[in-house]
Structure 1
Amino acid sequence: MNALAARRRHPAAIAILLMLGLLVTGFAYAAVAPQPAQAESSTAQDVTAGKQLFLANCASCHGVNAEGRVTGNGDKIAGPALAGVGAAAVDFQMGTGRMPLREPGIQAERGDVQFSQKEIDQVAAYIASLAPGPAVPSEEDVDPTKGDPGAGGELFRVNCAMCHNAAGAGGALTRGKYAPSLMGVEPKHIFEAMDTGPQSMPVFNDNNIEPKDKRDIIAFLTAIDEAPQQGGHALGSLGPVTEGWFAWFFGLGLLVAAAVWLGQKSA
């Protein structure tokens, strides 16, 4: 007993107990924590073909092993590391024409898609083979007809409207960046953007917004995009910005025209 008590009083006993506690906690968390979504099953040929496409079109910025690169003076990132971004990030960036990047800028803008869907899938398979990451959603995950637009509208206003506008029309951010309009965007790309958080957008993984809630948001945006404008022209759905411009330009123009007409009549 005396020997056991002496060991308990040893200065290293607390450190050893803390280390054991951290190890047990870490293993327990790894066992029960939700795992990142894996990419859809793909063949070795897809991975090999995707790597060749990556080396030919992406490695100059992202590195030959997708480890990322910095500029010559080391103060800016030329291309971020891609291990762990998942197939969804590749499908979103290449499927919307943002990648390959046409020219350096504050923000990668949507453009013409440079690759076929098969080639995009192959590059996605290669990137997914490097480390686990968000997978491309299934057709059921992004089917707006299976979502609830009302519930999606509430989620959108809480999580998205401060940047994308309450009607998904987009809006300005800081330092010349902007949240793009969500009108006309493919449902799967909306889902992938929530899953991967491109550029200034935060990541809304399954712990933040569940897949069924993402589908509800897609249903809401689809309903807005397809809804007829019963009250007249929507003016871009940008609220007081375009409404104020319209009132200033046309209202003031009418007043000036009326003043000129009255002045000519009294002359």
Structure 2
Amino acid sequence: MNAVVNRSREVERLQAGMPTSDGAGVRLLRVLTQELQRRLDPFLMLDEFRSDNPDDYIAGFPDHPHRGFQTVTYMLDGRMRHRDSHGNEGLLGPGGVQWMNAGRGLVHSELPEQADGLMHGFQLWINLPAARKMSEPGYRDIPASAIPQTTTAGGVTIKVIAGEADGLRGAVQEADTEPLYLDLELPAGATHSLPLPPSHNAFVYVYAGEATIGGRTVGEQRLAVLGNDPAADGVTLSTVSGARVLVLAGRPLGEPIAQWGPFVMNSRGEVEQAIDDFRNGRF
């Protein structure tokens, strides 16, 4: 059932992805960059990786550290093997999600397990509040079959990775930031509305096709920052020719952000401590 939204949020700004590389030379598109961290608090980063050329991704992301935030890896196509310094190991397949809490620190690797074929997915970073930055690390591997999904009468397919939408409770619930993480596939001519808490920061990423939000067209591989109009109670998406989009919203933490690479803390001193702890094997 299409939810009733009396007034849709509008697009405040559009952001084009920035081609870059990470890990051992994996080519990716960074669509939520550091300059948007405060505006889209608690979200810190969103990368899209998509290639059918193994040279673009096969070396993967060898051992690297994290502290102070969560990573969410969502695979559309391909497989990714992950291992960490706590002895955890798993294989993330098509449609699956890994929700990892780096907490006080861990070292992990993410390595593709196919020699050729399409590799397509996203990695999202979500900040942790100061009270949880030194929490115990942990992770969940969520197979595609465990991610709630529905198709509306209008033909819109919705996967609820986190939060709640269209009567479905997502695979993940987080009390601190209350994230909503949806993957929507809209067929040609479709319109769909989603309630959003007015206090939450939100954005839409169109990763295939073209969508319209509040009368503004958002093209492929564009991130639309949604305005925080207190009178708006959600977002309405429509498409002429079809689109696939990620919709994300979260409760802002309103805390200082101090980042150096894979460490996200609240002060420079805490970042320096994280670097020292990592270099001296205290992860």
Q: Does the TM-score normalized on the shorter chain lie above 0.5? A: no
TM-score after normalising by structure 2: 0.23
Larger Rg: 1
Bigger relative contact order (CA 8 A; separation at least 6): 2
Larger fraction in helix:
1
TM-score after normalising by structure 1: 0.24
Larger fraction in strand:
2
